[in-house]
Structure 1
Amino acid sequence: MRFNHFDLNLLLAFDVLLEEQNITRAAERLSMTQSATSGALSRLCQYFQDELLVQVGRKMVPTPYALELVPKVRDVLMTLRASIVAKPVFEPALSKRHFRVITSDYLITVLLAQVIETVQRNAPHITFEILGPSGSSDELLMRGEVDLIIVPERYVHDEHPSQMLFEEEHVCVICRHNVQVGESLSLEQYMDMGHVSVAFGRNRHLSIEEWLMSRYSFKRRLEVITHDFNTLAQLLVGTQRIATMHRRLAERYANYLPLRLLEPPMELPLMREYMVWHRSLDQDPVHQWLREQIVSATLAWSAKPS
């Protein structure tokens, strides 16, 4: 397909070449031969009158102009995909859409599992793949490799449409048999206790503790670091340790584990959870329907914690 003498198929080649920065890997992803991929790069260079990718040693490095083009090309590709995939009339029971969603295990537990159950009843052929948050989440959304991200407010960027879902408090959680703590928790006790925390990603970013450390310059004893929120409560049982958890998740685990919830000895900010999507999906009727299911599930329980 051509537009103003430009082969639109080259846009996909451009996107993959700039991401991989390697002819061989790009050819594999494009299901093309290396010579055909090199030819596509040559035509792109000729059209844009720029080298786009420059060989530096064993690497191919994008030119400044190529980097400027990357977000513009991805926007065009996302718009094209949304226009082709979306249908003017949407019947949930007939849709075979596959959604890739990035969110934490906490949000799966308190919200998304319920949404997926509802979707299965009304649109049984819609499928899901859930990915954990990472440093590349925003890039995956920009490239159209995920359909939706549900994250705390600090990870929301203005270039994407978003909607706030709910607010969440944090509480301190200890084992019910911990006799060292009474009905309330002092700041001194909080600082003296061993802590269980969650860290994400290759750089081991801590969750709420990042804010605590920057706000109060706390230096706590981190005795156990885990990789997800759902294991926090389980790692407290039978110990004298403490964890700072989302209230809804803590109350859910306190229903069947020997845990005790305490108010934090310091003022913690409310956490606001948002869903974020690429603007090309804003008017996609299937995507709109899924967002409506998420909002409906949130409204059903947001007034009272689980």
Structure 2
Amino acid sequence: MRFKKLDLNLLVALDHMIELRSVSAAADKMFMSQSAMSNALTRLRDYFDDPLLVQVGRRMEVTPRAESMRLAIRDILVRIEATIDSQPEFRPEESTRTFNLLLSDYSLRVLMPTVFRLIDSQSSTIKLNLRAQTELPQVLLERGEIDLLISPEMFISDDHPASLLYQDNYVVAAWAGGKYGNVTMDQKMYETASHAVMVPPNAAKSYESALLALAGIERQIDVKTFSFTNLPHLITGTDRVATIHARLAKLVAQQAELVTYPIPADLPPLRQMLQWHAYRENDPGIIWLRGLLEQAVAELD
């Protein structure tokens, strides 16, 4: 299809090249040969009378003209994708649609087993692609690469609709057979104990770390890991403690031989939000999946 003599298929190629800053990587993502993608770039350069991507050292950088078009191109493509994906009626028992969800390993462990059970109880034929949490999850939502985002309230976008999925609190977890197996956990003990913590990708600060910092709490951190769900098991058999979600602690307390204590600080609860792109507000498939997630939370509660 052409618009003002521009092949609109070239916009998809340009979108990928701008995002990836690479002709070869864009070709791989679109299942094209590198020569075909290079040809697409040549045609785009001729049309816009601009190089669009230029070689700088070992990598490519976008020109000011390409950068000025980046958001508009992505917005057009997301709007088109949303229009195509949205059907007047959604039948989960007949649909083979793939939904992309972005969530943490904590939500994966606490919530998703119930979601999968509900999907099977409805004889649904949908597919789910569960993607790991990233430092800037709202970017993937903006790009239309995920359908739903499950994330703490502080990490969601102000530009798209969202709803509260559930709340949780943090607790101090310790091995029942260790030094902190039967104590009164006060702030001094909490701060001087040896802690195991989860550190998100790119060394970003986790939500509970941000809350503790705001409360003026400093921890003695001796172990860092990439996963919330392995924290309880890492402290079993040791004198370390971990700050974990109460829902997660309840699930693994017996298996990991844990005791839990309230955090010795006045922390607000974790508000776990569900967010979707504004263009998919009335998408029957997204509405159905949102309802399914809310039903799963109701069963957990």
| Unaligned segments of structure 1, at least 5 residues | none
For 1:58 and 1:186, locate their aligned partners in 2 and report how far apart those are by CA, in whole Å.
Answer: 54
Shift of residue 40, structure 1, vs aligned partner: 2.5
How many residues get paired? 301
Q: Is residue 234 of structure 2 the alignment partner of residue 235 of structure 1? A: yes
> Bigger shift: 251-260 or 67-76?
251-260
1:145-192 C-alpha deviation (Å, 9 max, x unpaired)? 222221111111112222211121111111222355645211111122
Question: Aligned with 1:235: secondary structure?
Answer: helix
Deviates more, 1:94-103 or 1:176-185: 176-185
1:134–1:201 contact (8 Å) kept in structure 2:
yes
- Which residue in 2 is equivalent to 1:127? 127
The answer for the alignment partner of 1:216 in structure 2 is 216
TM-score with structure 2 length normalisation? Answer: 0.90
Q: How far, CA to CA, are the matches of 2:162 and 2:33 in structure 1?
A: 40
SS state of the match for residue 203, structure 2?
Answer: coil
Comparing 66-75 with 172-181, which one deviates more in the overlay? 172-181
Taking a change above 3 Å as real, the CA distance of residues 207 and 154 of structure 1, as seen in their structure-2 partners, is: closer
The aligned residue for residue 138 of structure 1 is: 138
Structure 1 counterpart of 2:83:
83
Q: Does the C-alpha gap of structure 1 residues 223 and 41 become closer, same or farther in structure 2, counting only changes over 3 Å?
A: same
**3-state SS of the aligned residue for 2:81?**
helix
CA RMSD of aligned residues (A): 2.3
Q: How does 1:1-306 map to 2 (within 5 A)?
A: 1-135=1-135, 137-178=137-178, 180=180, 182=182, 184-203=184-203, 205-216=205-216, 218=218, 220-302=219-301
CA contact (8 A) 1:200 1:227 kept: yes
Contact 1:170 1:244 in 2 (8 A): yes
What TM-score does the superposition give when structure 1 sets the normalisation length?
A: 0.88
Give the direction of change, closer, same or farther, for the CA distance of 1:57–1:242 in structure 2 (3 Å limit).
closer
Q: Which one-letter code corresponds to 1:266 in the other structure?
A: A
In 1, are the aligned partners of 2:135 and 2:200 still within 8 Å (CA)? no
Are the aligned partners of 2:135 and 2:204 in contact in 1 as well (CA < 8 Å)? no
* Higher mean displacement: 252-261 or 32-41: 32-41
Counterpart residue type for residue 64 of structure 2: P
For residues 56 and 178 of structure 1, do their structure 2 counterparts lie closer, same or farther at Cα, with a shift above 3 Å needed? closer
Name whichever of 82-91 and 208-217 sits farther off: 208-217
Q: Is the CA contact (8 Å cut-off) linking 1:197 and 1:206 kept in structure 2?
A: no
Q: Cα distance, 1:125 vs. partner?
A: 1.6
- What is the distance in 2 between the residues matched to 1:72 and 1:295? 33
Identify if the C-alpha distance between structure 1 residues 257 and 44 changes in structure 2 by more than 3 Å, giving closer, same or farther: same
Query: Cα offset for 1:14?
Result: 1.1
Q: Quick one: distance in 1 between partners of 2:152 and 2:4? A: 43
2:147/2:277 contact within 8 Å kept: yes
Whole-Å separation in 1 of the counterparts to 2:169 and 2:67: 41
Preserved contact between residue 82 and residue 281 of structure 1 (Cα < 8 Å)? yes
Question: Which segment is superposed worse, 187-196 or 140-149?
Answer: 140-149
Distance 2:141 2:195 in 1: 34
Displacement of 1:105: 1.6
Residue 68 to residue 161, structure 1, CA distance change in 2 (3 Å): farther
Query: Which amino acid in 2 is paired with 1:150?
Result: I
Give the CA deviation at 1:207.
Answer: 4.6
Q: 1:168 to 1:67 in 2, by over 3 A?
A: same
Per mean C-alpha deviation after superposition, the further-off stretch among 202-211 and 114-123 is 202-211
Q: Which amino acid aligns with 2:100?
A: R
Residues 35-44 or 78-87, more deviating: 35-44
- The CA deviation at 1:127 is 1.6
Instruction: Give the deviation of 1:121 after TM superposition.
Output: 2.3
Question: How far apart, CA to CA, are the structure 1 residues paired with 2:88 and 2:59?
Answer: 45
What CA distance in whole angstroms lies between the structure 2 residues aligned with 1:106 and 1:25?
31
